[in-house]
Amino acid sequence: HGVAGRGGTSGPAWPGPAADMEPEEKVAAAPVPVDALSGLRITNVWTVLLSIQWSEPWLIGLLTFHILCFALTLITTRFYRLQIAHFLFMIVLVYCAEYINEIAAMNWRLFSIYQYFDSNGMFISLVFSTPLLINTMIIVIMWVYRTLAEMTELKALKQKKKANREQGKKTS
């Protein structure tokens, strides 16, 4: 889906060549984009994260959302059904990330200074989906740990029961 070109994306773009470059220079600079705001060459995930204006209110809201999701992940460790609902909610959000990216690309001027929503989904994958997936991985790890602990406890109970039976046979 070519979302970056939808909704009239003229104006500040992210990431991309400096706005004052001629079209020929933009094509020549395309293999290694330069963030117009910071002047950083976008070569890896770290430079992408550094080029984001984290002071924008909607990004502060997104960070707050991720902190709340992480807190809920930790709080729900004792409430299995609530944790399942939380897990499924985060998986559905990750599944919908492509659609969210398309809608955000068309309407970015309503909430953002810069057009972060590229057609490849790099931005939304980094700042939206990755934290949610990390939360879901934490939950899965907790489930595996809990399952292994239960299996170990069950095995110990079976051995104890077997030992008690054998003890009863010896005394008879």
* pLDDT tens figures, 97-125: 999 999 999 999 999 988 888 888 888 99
- Sign of the four-CA dihedral 87, 90, 95, 96: positive
Q: How many CA atoms lie within 13 A of 100 on its CB side?
A: 15
β partners of residue 41: 34
| Model confidence pLDDT, tens digit, residues 59-82 | 999 999 999 999 999 999 989 999
Chain-centroid distance of CA 86 in Å reads 14
In percent, the amount of the chain with pLDDT more than 90 equals: 51
State the pTM of this model.
0.69
Rounded Cα gap, residues 12 and 84, in angstroms: 41
Average pLDDT of the residues of the chain: 80
Q: What is the dihedral of CA 157, 163, 167, 168, to 10 degrees?
A: 50
Q: What angle do CA 113, 117, 122 make, to 5 degrees?
A: 130
Q: Give the list of residues 6+ apart from residue 44 with CB closer than 8 angstroms, or none.
A: none
**Three-class HEC string of the chain:** CCHHHCCCCCCCECCCCCCCCCHHHHHHHCCCCECCCCCCECCCHHHHHHCCCCCCHHHHHHHHHHHHHHHHHHHHHHCHHHHHHHHHHHHHHHHCHHHHHHHHHHHHHHCCCCECCCCCCHHHHHHHHHHHHHHHHHHHHHHHHHHHHHHHHHHHHHHHHHHHHHHHHHHC
β partners of residue 115: 13
pLDDT at 168 over 90: no
